[in-house]
Structure 1
Amino acid sequence: MPQRILSISGLRGVVGNGLDPEYVTRFAAALGTMYEGGTVVVSRDGRQTGVMVKQAVLAGLAATGCNVLDADIATTPTCGVLVKHHGAAGGVQITASHNPVEWNGLKPFSPRGSVFDAALGRRLIDLLESGAFDYRAWDGIGSIRSLDDPAGPHIERVLSLVDAEAIKRGGFRVVLDCNHGSGAVATPRLLELLGCEVTVLGGTPDGRFAHTPEPLEENLSGLCEAVREQGADVGFAQDPDADRLAIVDETGRYIGEEMTLALCADYVLPQRPGPFVVNGSTSRVNQDIAERHGCAFHRSHVGEANVVGKMDEVGATLGGEGNGGVIEPQVGYVRDSFVSMAYVLAGLTEKGRTLSQWVAELPAYAIVKQKIACPREKVDAACAALKGAYEDAQAAEGDGLRLDWPDRWVQVRASNTEPVLRVIAEAPDEAIARGLCANAIGLVEQAVG
């Protein structure tokens, strides 16, 4: 059976088994039709299949009259920034994010440089399924132009938000794990402009991942060891398209993706108080930080587009997700590892403490994330079984099921990007969180058979 996932967020599939040039070209033609032959930014992560997929995308866009600005290998947030910078009709990032190397995909952007919301995503899927593409005659075919320095506008926006000279005086030693993803193209440059001494792991953006691409603790032992060996102040790990960031402290301890957003919020909110938005799967430490700084706190459904929608609704200063994705509206409405690094370095500069000391000042929770195979049609049954087993919890439905107690919570929901059910639990103690997660998985497996 072909492995292809089409959703309002875009397209992912296994190259040669679900993701083929014909389908990619049709997807791009549907996008080009939506963009009405306007200017479109195209970029990709470093996967080996990216060149082939890009050619198919360019064909579909040009055939529908779009003028393409080709950024080639660039990060997902850079693509979003470029859409706004060039006043484009939209953009396409060619990436499968943290999926294994055999996967690739397409992530479309709206004219504001944000990912598609539900309405745009539904419109795209309907158009793709109808096949009513606006193919142009020979004299209406679009053009393709390569961009010089695609990352420049992105880096400039990020640097404008921090005191770069103060950070330079800190002389931070950084180990950066790009893992052969698109972050390798420009992230070292950003850090060097902030005066950092940078050691790069996986610095060739060729998609030959040195470790499993999701930046989780079990995949980053090499980064932890390098931080200790180099005597670095911090270690940063990006996913293949560099919209997510995980962090290692100066002792070589993985402090996780969840703390990325928390650290940035603890730096930003005292300076620019305002509403703070996270999704329903993000650590409670963010709520504690918002309350500490007197800021309104909001939760959205899971998904970058849902976070952005809630940020628009409340006029948020900052937003993001617990997967290491910080969204800074002043740079762009897209998760951004560049801005995350800049804010962490700025916070270290301002506080004059080590990273481990800064983390120790924040509320501590243990969060456990698991996933199990679950057919989408059985998700409702899984949620019902879990709700029935925990009648003492406060239940929130609509995005799977989240169950809250005074000091802990558990959530189950279907993934938007993989054929799995995600189970996430958080508590003040890791053993409690793991037990809660294990019990939830047991109940789900019993319910779905």
Structure 2
Amino acid sequence: MELFGSSGIRGVALRYLTPALVLDIAKAAGTVWDADRVAVARDTRTTGELFANAAASGLAAVGCDVDRLGVVPTPAVGNYCESAEVPAVLVTASHNPPEFNGIKLVGDDGVELSVDVLERIERRVLDDEYDHADWRTAGETTPIEGVVDEYVDQLVAAVDCEAIADADLTVAVDPGHGAASVASPRIYRELGCEVLTVNATPDGHFPGRDSEPVGENLGALSRVVATSDADVGIAHDGDADRAVFVDENGTFVDGDTSFAAMADACLEPGDAVVSAVNVSQRLVDVCADNDADLELTPIGATNIITRTRELHEEGTNVPVAGEGNGGVFFPPYRLSRDGAYIGARFLELLAAADGAPVSEVVAPYADYHFVRENVEYADDDERDELLSAARAYVETADAEPNTTDGYRLDYGDAWVLVRPSGTEPKIRIYAESADADRAERLAKDMRVAVESGR
């Protein structure tokens, strides 16, 4: 797809992403959906209101009435779409820096659109083909109240509130000034936790930290946990569809580790897990231990959603899916990422651990070594030469390559992946093993092979 990437459309606001482009995307979506009503929502970014206005105008221009939800977490939009049976245009750039913005499209089932529907919408934009209304049938706009209230109520009802409350947990929450600020602290209080907050004021400039919830951005949260009696820290990205954790000592818990721990708690023999091709050995081992299948997709939430839907149609149970960046799906709840729900499921793990701290709960999944390297290239011709060298290397390797997205070699106890970046002129190399030397060696050997193509 030319416009839609693995998780919608994103770019620097008012440069790549313009009101005119958002208007066209909204018109195309409204045309393809052929819906009477469509919701429009946004995260806290400073350009969110102007793009939400453009989206509402585009939808009204093709005859859709517009429900304006305002600033709400992405999962709250999903809950509204499912309950009201309307699709939505969501203005968000997720974890990207504050100068970015973007568009996600959500169906009337509360789930991001599948690849085939996105392709139909993209084709309308590229061909400039829309079903414009006339002045008599243009859509009208209605502000909608209570969206966050309804989301909080349904989430609290969906987890073991009594067990979490009985565990008497103190939780530090870092919404990163994003949309989670209006929901997550409240959710964990309603689950019976004592809640501390940091970076919890909605602010599209993200003054306290960068929006992406990775270890180097969570110093303030780590300090709050380490200097208080908090049992765990929970951090979100800008639109609140991801959650990562800090243990009782203020130490960052890798997203692959928490994903594996939560998967291990809900898998049964015969189940399947859907993840991206850069999946951690942690999850590979958990699936093997539970006699569950592991299905790999190209990187990105859209691809994971599409494959999970296919497995459901085939009658395969998929209790958990996602990526090791904090974006975990629990499809029986909803086939979308929900940062606050992910956090609540992790609190259920702690509640079931009979007082064991986070560091002990995740310890069985933490002893792995991950390596990532980048090989830069100057132009498309050089990229193709580097990838050709990588292909020659994997074809002679003592492992069957997975070509879902680049080339992944699985060795049972370790793996290595090489793939082109979707956003930068770089070839990405990933390797992982419980043995640090083995992971370093796999990455180095792949890099040497790739660079031989220069």
TM-score, length-normalised on structure 1? 0.91
Does structure 2 retain, via aligned residues, the 8 Å contact 1:326–1:339?
no
Bigger mean CA deviation after superposition, 293-302 or 219-228:
293-302
Q: Which residue of 2 aligns with 1:333?
A: 335
Q: Which residue of 2 aligns with 1:367?
A: 370
How does 1:29-428 map onto structure 2 within 5 Å? 29-88=27-86, 90-209=87-206, 210-269=208-267, 274-315=271-312, 316-352=318-354, 353-362=356-365, 364-369=367-372, 379-390=383-394, 391-394=396-399, 395-416=401-422, 421-428=427-434
Does structure 1 retain, via aligned residues, the 8 Å contact 2:297–2:405?
no
CA distance in 2, matches of 1:276, 1:329: 10
Does structure 2 retain, via aligned residues, the 8 Å contact 1:8–1:120?
no
Does structure 1 retain, via aligned residues, the 8 Å contact 2:111–2:334?
yes
CA distance in 2, matches of 1:176, 1:332: 23
CA distance in 1, matches of 2:192, 2:341: 16
Q: 1:59 to 1:365 in 2, by over 3 A?
A: same
Does structure 1 retain, via aligned residues, the 8 Å contact 2:177–2:203?
yes
Bigger mean CA deviation after superposition, 156-165 or 254-263:
156-165
Counterpart of 1:11, as a letter, is: I
1:350 is displaced (CA, Å) by 0.9
Bigger mean CA deviation after superposition, 370-379 or 352-361:
370-379
Does structure 1 retain, via aligned residues, the 8 Å contact 2:281–2:433?
no
Q: How many residues are treated as equivalent by the alignment? A: 443
CA distance in 2, matches of 1:360, 1:436: 24
Counterpart of 1:87, as a letter, is: E
CA distance in 2, matches of 1:61, 1:196: 41
Q: 1:5 to 1:309 in 2, by over 3 A?
A: closer
CA distance in 2, matches of 1:77, 1:420: 32
Bigger mean CA deviation after superposition, 182-191 or 16-25:
16-25
Q: Which residue of 2 aligns with 1:433?
A: 439
Counterpart of 1:58, as a letter, is: A
CA distance in 2, matches of 1:382, 1:242: 37
Counterpart of 2:391, as a letter, is: K
SS at structure 2 position matched to 1:47: coil
CA distance in 1, matches of 2:436, 2:204: 34
Kindly provide the CA deviation profile for residues 353-393 of structure 1, in whole angstroms up to 9, marking residues without a partner as x. Answer: 11111111336322234556556676554333223335324
Q: Which residue of 2 aligns with 1:24?
A: 22
CA distance in 1, matches of 2:57, 2:167: 48
CA distance in 2, matches of 1:249, 1:37: 45
Unaligned runs of 5+ in 1: none
Q: Which residue of 1 aligns with 2:315?
A: none
Superposed CA RMSD in Å reads 2.5
CA distance in 2, matches of 1:179, 1:14: 19
Bigger mean CA deviation after superposition, 158-167 or 5-14:
5-14
Q: 1:73 to 1:255 in 2, by over 3 A?
A: same
TM-score, length-normalised on structure 2? 0.90
1:326 is displaced (CA, Å) by 1.1
CA distance in 2, matches of 1:436, 1:179: 36
Q: 1:63 to 1:293 in 2, by over 3 A?
A: same
CA distance in 2, matches of 1:82, 1:432: 47
Q: 1:417 to 1:389 in 2, by over 3 A?
A: closer
Does structure 1 retain, via aligned residues, the 8 Å contact 2:88–2:105?
yes
1:418 is displaced (CA, Å) by 5.9
SS at structure 2 position matched to 1:410: strand
CA distance in 2, matches of 1:155, 1:87: 18
Kindly provide the CA deviation profile for residues 226-246 of structure 1, in whole angstroms up to 9, marking residues without a partner as x. Answer: 210123111111111111111
CA distance in 1, matches of 2:381, 2:90: 30
CA distance in 2, matches of 1:420, 1:150: 41
Does structure 2 retain, via aligned residues, the 8 Å contact 1:24–1:57?
yes
1:414 is displaced (CA, Å) by 3.7
1:66 is displaced (CA, Å) by 1.2
Counterpart of 2:419, as a letter, is: R
CA distance in 1, matches of 2:387, 2:192: 49
Bigger mean CA deviation after superposition, 136-145 or 391-400:
391-400
Unaligned runs of 5+ in 2: 313-317
Counterpart of 2:360, as a letter, is: Q
SS at structure 1 position matched to 2:352: helix
Q: 1:180 to 1:354 in 2, by over 3 A?
A: same
